[in-house]
Amino acid sequence: MKKIGIIVKTKDSNALKILKEIYNWAMNSGYQLFIEKEAAQIIGVNGYERKEMAELIDIMVVLGGDGTMLSAARVAAPKEIPILGVNLGGLGFITEISKDSLYPSLEKIINGVCNIEERLMLTANIYREGSIIAEHIALNDIVINKGSLTRIFDIETFIEHTYVTTYKADGLIISTPTGSTAYNLSAGGPILYPTLNCIVITPICPHTLTNRPIVINDDQTIELTFKPQDDVLLTLDGQTGIALQPRDMVEIKKSKFKTRILLPCERDYFQILREKLKWGKR
């Protein structure tokens, strides 16, 4: 793993500082760096577009938070590039190593000492008049929520073409195990161990209190339809929004791609939960 791609949250001055340090470290250690264009321009070196970078690198290092990691995953996954996320001070469930342990972790990972964990991703197909008009992938979650209107709306839900229920709610979260500690958690959904082969469906503020989250197998397909008058938005990992039209149908299923996350050798998932969620503290 001699070719390292770097994705940086450029609005974070600390991330840019670490980028300069990594650049000097890589030059002295014999590694080749491919830095995202915007960040490269800031430090005065040649840069690459993300898709161009994905054709050239062995691993991808992300300097930022979970949001930066999620956007990088959608580029890296189709090319099966493993990703290392460096947490720069936010909550960070998938940016798992701290800046203090960056270089020892990098050396171990590059030398193949540590593990790579494959994470389930989701694909959303949008059907309009019987044909797919868009296809998108997500690592954390796919969310159906209201557009500009503030009232609840109806989400007719099928699993494997079998009718489940019509949720009357502010929206619906379809989450992977990786995303279970994100929006799903704040909406009252369960925490799922990140390598489980399952999907969780969590309603947002359901009008019926007995509508609870449902966990299904990851090989099952979910279909969602809405009333023609509803103003509905589909969002991917909280970053990309798509306005749906009346009578659109959204099909959500396991993606053919997986995100490959490079893990620090000493990583303990339950320790991460205790620290991030402050379990046992008063």
At 154-166, the pLDDT tens digits run 999 999 999 999 9
* The one catalytic residue among 12, 58, 66, 231: 66
Mean pLDDT of the chain: 89
Whether residue 146 sits in one domain with residue 103: no
Is 66 one of the annotated active-site residues of the chain?
Answer: yes
Whether residue 38 lies inside any domain: the answer is yes
Taking alpha carbons only, the member of 82, 121, 76 closest to residue 105 is 82
Whether residue 155 sits in one domain with residue 106: no
Whether residue 168 sits in one domain with residue 103: no
Range in 38-52, 118-132, 181-195, 255-269 with the lowest mean pLDDT: 255-269
For residue 89, pLDDT beyond 70: no
Q: What is the 3-state secondary structure (H, E, C) of 20-32?
A: HHHHHHHHHHCCE
**Section 196-223 average pLDDT:** 95
Q: How far apart are CA 79 and CA 62, in angstroms?
A: 16
What is the residue range of 212's domain?
121-256
Residue 12 is predicted with a pLDDT of 83
The pLDDT tens digits of the residues spanning 119-171 come to 999 999 999 999 999 999 999 999 999 876 667 889 999 999 999 999 999 99
Terminal CA-CA length for the chain: 44
Whether residue 208 sits in one domain with residue 109: no
For residue 95, pLDDT beyond 70: no
Whether residue 127 sits in one domain with residue 236: yes
Whether residue 239 sits in one domain with residue 149: yes
Whether residue 128 sits in one domain with residue 22: no
Whether residue 99 lies inside any domain: the answer is yes
For residue 264, pLDDT beyond 80: no
Taking alpha carbons only, the member of 242, 250, 236, 241 closest to residue 137 is 236
Residue 261 is predicted with a pLDDT of 92
Whether residue 282 lies inside any domain: the answer is no
Residue 96 is predicted with a pLDDT of 66
Whether residue 163 lies inside any domain: the answer is yes
> Phi and psi of 205, rounded to 5°?
50, 60
Whether residue 229 sits in one domain with residue 103: no
Total domains in the fold of the chain = 2
- Residue 60 belongs to what H/E stretch? strand 59-64
The pLDDT tens digits of the residues spanning 216-225 come to 999 999 999 9
Residue 1 is predicted with a pLDDT of 61
Whether residue 142 sits in one domain with residue 53: no
Range in 2-11, 73-82, 104-113 with the lowest mean pLDDT: 104-113
CATH number for position 47:
3.40.50.10330
Residues 59 and 81 sit within 8 Å (Cβ to Cβ): yes
Whether residue 92 lies inside any domain: the answer is yes
Residue 60 is predicted with a pLDDT of 93
**Section 46-59 average pLDDT:** 92
Whether residue 243 sits in one domain with residue 268: no
Whether residue 152 sits in one domain with residue 73: no
Whether residue 160 sits in one domain with residue 49: no
The pLDDT tens digits of the residues spanning 62-88 come to 988 888 899 999 999 999 999 988 877
Q: Identify the band that residue 200 occupies on the pLDDT scale cut at 50, 70 and 90.
A: very high
Q: Identify the band that residue 91 occupies on the pLDDT scale cut at 50, 70 and 90.
A: low
Q: How many CB atoms are located within 10 Å of the residue 85 CB?
A: 27
CATH number for position 126:
2.60.200.30
Residue 9 is predicted with a pLDDT of 87
**Section 235-244 average pLDDT:** 92
